[in-house]
Amino acid sequence: MKLLAVTVSIGAAMLVMTTATSYAAGGDAIFKKSCASCHYTDGPAKEKTIADQLAKKGPELWYAGSKFQKAWLGAWLQDPKPIRALKYNSLTDKNKGDHPKSSAADAAALTDYLMGLTSPEVKAGVIKAAATPQAKQIFNKKMPCGGCHATEKGGGLSGPSLVGAAKRLNPDWIYAYLANIKHFKPVRDMPDFGSVLNPKDLEAVAAYVATFE
């Protein structure tokens, strides 16, 4: 509605504005048609119970714009490779790696749409990727991260692989996610480290995960 009002009042800018709008709207429409059956895009209120979660075959995407790096997202949608070793919502079935593939044009429109979905919980520009000895100690020794997550050196299968997190995930999102897991994953079994680690340690671990090649 806001854009409409602007296009009416500023005639000269109309063509540009209309083009930008229809591009984003295209991603929205493609998503509704091809993706919404498996992914939620409405905010934290939606996925609160196991039943809500089981109603969708894939992870919630309502904070996709805060979580992912744009270049990774655009490329992955065209050539999706498994992130989770096990099928989403299963502790036994293998991920078959059969995620739908998008054309380059669809992937661009979908990426624009998804990058617009953000969470106010994620503060921008705070966490910078860094592998400090303190963070390595926490990830590899003090905390059981590697029991559930694969890194380049191997590791558990029950959580998403963190291989390539440096290119896939936004460091600020990793911190926000670890600090406030219930906001992002109300019903998944990623443990609540926000109540176990102090904020400095959480920052260090988030910065460390953000270096994973």
Q: Which is nearer to ligand HEC, 17 or 52 (CB)?
A: 52
CA dihedral 192, 196, 200, 205 (to 10 degrees): -50
Do the Cβ atoms of 205 and 129 come closer than 8 Å? no
- Compute, in degrees rounded to 10, the torsion defined by CA atoms 65, 71, 73, 77: 150
Nearest CA to 114 out of 68, 180, 47 is that of: 68
For residues 54, 57, 61, 67, the Cα torsion angle rounded to the nearest 10 degrees is 100
Q: Indicate the residue among 7 and 78 with the shorter CB distance to ligand HEC.
A: 78
- Nearest distance from C-beta of residue 19 to ligand HEC, angstroms: 22
CA distance 53 to 60: 9
Q: Which two structure tokens, joined as six digits, stand for 161?
A: 């692989």
Residue at 97: amino acid letter: G
CB of 14 to ligand HEC, least distance (A): 30
Interacting residues toward ligand HEC by CB under 6 A = 31, 34-35, 37-39, 57-59, 61, 64, 73, 77, 82-84, 88, 95, 99-100, 102, 110, 139, 143-145, 147-149, 158-160, 174, 177, 185, 188-191, 193, 205, 209
7 versus 89: smaller Cβ distance to ligand HEC: 89
Instruction: Tell me whether residue 80 is exposed, middle or buried, using C-beta atoms within 10 angstroms of its C-beta: 0 to 12, 13 to 18, 19 or more.
Output: middle
**Smallest distance from ligand HEC to CB 206, Å:** 7
Give the shortest CB-2-to-ligand HEC separation in angstroms: 25
With respect to ligand HEC, which residue has the nearer C-beta, 14 or 192?
192
Give the residue with the Cβ less far from ligand HEC, 17 or 86: 86
Q: Supply the minimum distance, in Å, between the C-beta of residue 77 and ligand HEC.
A: 6
